[in-house]
Amino acid sequence: MTFTTSTFPIFLAIVFALYWSVRGHVAQNRVLLVASYSFYAWWDWRFCFLMLGSSLVDFELSRRIHLTANHARRKWLLATSLASNLGLLAIFKYYNFFIENLLVLTSKIGWAPDINTISWVLPLGISFYTFQTLGYTIDVYRKRIPAAANVTQYLAFVSFFPQLVAGPIERAEKMLPQFGVKRHFNLSHAKEGSKQILWGFFKKMVIADRLALAVNPVFDDPSIYSGPHLMMATIFFAFQIYCDFSAYSDIAIGTAKLFNLRLTQNFAYPYFSQSISEFWRRWHISLSYWFRDYVYIPLGGNQHGSFRRRMNLMVTFLVSGLWHGPAWGFIAWGGVNGLAVSLPGFGSSRSKHAKAGLQPAPPQAKSAKLESESATSNEKRAIETPGSEPFLPRPITLVRIYATFATICATWILFRATSFSDAVLIYQQIATDLFNGEAYRELLQFLDADRYQRKTATFLLVFVCWEWVFRRDSFPLQLRRVPLVMRWMVYTTLIWSTLYLMPKTGVGEFVYFEF
């Protein structure tokens, strides 16, 4: 099941009614557990067993890690957990990629081993829930948290349906205590959650899906488009993926609020960032901090000099690229971002925030002390007013935002292009036509003739302005100081305009489902 269907509101209404009609947190967890597995089974019931198996293995291993004081045995148990989780990912997600590349490599030395790729379905959300359980086991190993004593509580945490398929990737440290007590209904949370859900639907169905119609044909066959057209498609893609993914997070966070559960803020106006490192503190926050805590810091973080720090950053970003998908384009995308973050004077901004101690995401871990920072403090850092405090930004702020956005767009080409050679072609075409006036005129003519894309570009502009105005809020539809009547008018307009303006081809899949 996905959020943007008629099934979801019906499902949500049923779960909401059941959840608040039972007594005690045990019953609430049971309701959520059954709901979450039903939600997942709607897509393919067979994979429920995979998720259940993976969760139970981690539950048992973590329990044993917690109970034993023998260091070697603890290590061995952790290694088993890592092997089972990463093994699942390796089999379902990376097996074919490794085999294909192995075959290419061996063919170069004239050897053709008899290994075949396997055609199977990538279980939905596998990258998200395996990382969540992996984080839990490592935290138990590091003695940051005790192992969960109650299996229902643990399974409800792993499979919690709003964030099961595409995150935010939650920490056990933050979530398990919430599942361990009875949740009382909180009206203000529920109202805020409903608004966030509505905002998510609007972003996904109006902005992201309309942009997809302009982006897909261009990236499917970039060879026939001019440089300016490819630039426009790249900018559109930057907003498509932002609106798509952040919409999913908004709906997930909003839904969790209806159950009085708090999820991590996953996006904090990333395109108003003034440096690449700030961008990575504002984009897919739960994943960035997962990699910081479980990859970058174990590698040594910034504890062994500048060169080692850059290497650690590079490795972290390469792994992050690979996490997104088994393709060289994603790995290159990770590498370029790693390079951008680690380059001195390029990745970090010299803004007031940077001076205040907000250094690039992973390097800001000045000591192992940061490991113990809760996700809440991560969030606080991310929601520092983006694009500086004043309503109208200073020119230098605008220049920094523009430079960061342009760099990020350049890296999105590697992410979106259907192949590495296509990405190279797009870069070449953009470079060739950079000062070609005729190509820009052609693009203007195209936009002049295409009312649909013009409209979409206008919505995008309005959306960016709206985000700028409300950038101090965790999401821009809180409207705290707006009278009730006005607020209801805004919600009503959003609902009907979403239905009216969504593409007539229907609602597309969320992009991050592929990962």
Partner 1 sequence: MNSKSDQPLTFVLRVIVFLALQSFIGLVIHRYSSTEDSNHYLAVMRDKTHRIETTLGPRTIILGGSNTVFGMHSPVIEATLGQPVVNLGLHVSLGLEFPMRCYLPHAHPGDVVILCPEYHVLADESQMTGDPVVTNQLIEQWPDARKYLPPKDDDSWKAFFDHDSVLLMHQWVHRSIKMIRGRDQIDKVYRRSSFNEHGDLVAHYDKTPPARLPMAGLRTPNASTLNRATQTLNQFEKRCRERGVTVYFAYPPFARSTYKQSLVAVEKIQHAMLSHCAIPTLNEPIDNVYEDDCFFDSSYHLRAESGRNQSQRIANAVSQNMRLLQARKSSKIGNAF
Cα dihedral 62→64→69→72 (10° resolution): -80
Q: Are 130 and 54 in contact (CB under 8 A)?
A: yes
In the numeric block, the tokens 């798509």 are attached to: 244
Least distance from C-beta 17 to partner 1, angstroms? Answer: 8
Q: Are 252 and 167 in contact (CB under 8 A)?
A: yes
Specify the residue, 219 or 512, whose C-beta has the smaller distance to partner 1.
Answer: 219
Specify the residue, 72 or 449, whose C-beta has the smaller distance to partner 1.
Answer: 449
Question: Which of 189, 229, 324, 353 is flagged as catalytic?
Answer: 324
CA dihedral over 89, 145, 77, 55, signed as positive or negative? negative
Least distance from C-beta 18 to partner 1, angstroms? Answer: 11
The C-alpha atoms of residue 432 and residue 409 are separated, in whole angstroms, by 17
Least distance from C-beta 39 to partner 1, angstroms? Answer: 13
Specify the residue, 201 or 412, whose C-beta has the smaller distance to partner 1.
Answer: 201
Least distance from C-beta 51 to partner 1, angstroms? Answer: 21
Tokens of 217: 């044909």
In the residue annotation, 324 being an active-site residue is answered as: yes
Residue 80 sits at the vertex; the CA angle it makes with 75 and 83, to the nearest 5 degrees, is 120
Tokens of 434: 């950079």
Specify the residue, 12 or 252, whose C-beta has the smaller distance to partner 1.
Answer: 12
Task: Select from 220, 262, 264, 258 the least CA-distant residue to 246.
Answer: 264
The C-alpha atoms of residue 180 and residue 202 are separated, in whole angstroms, by 34
DSSP annotation of 510: P
Least distance from C-beta 376 to partner 1, angstroms? Answer: 23
Specify the residue, 78 or 233, whose C-beta has the smaller distance to partner 1.
Answer: 233
Q: Are 261 and 160 in contact (CB under 8 A)?
A: yes
Least distance from C-beta 408 to partner 1, angstroms? Answer: 25
- Count of alpha carbons within 13 Å of 433, Cβ hemisphere only? 22
Q: Are 397 and 360 in contact (CB under 8 A)?
A: no
Task: Select from 269, 245, 275 the least CA-distant residue to 364.
Answer: 275
Specify the residue, 69 or 224, whose C-beta has the smaller distance to partner 1.
Answer: 224
DSSP annotation of 511: G
Q: List contacts with partner 1 (CB under 8 A).
A: 1-2, 4-7, 10, 16, 20, 184-187, 190-191, 194, 213-214, 216-217, 220-221, 224, 446, 449-453, 488, 491-492, 495-496, 499-500, 502, 504, 506-507
Specify the residue, 248 or 269, whose C-beta has the smaller distance to partner 1.
Answer: 248
Least distance from C-beta 503 to partner 1, angstroms? Answer: 8
The C-alpha atoms of residue 469 and residue 465 are separated, in whole angstroms, by 6
52 burial type by CB count under 10 A (0-12 exposed, 13-18 middle, 19+ buried): middle
Catalytic residues: 324
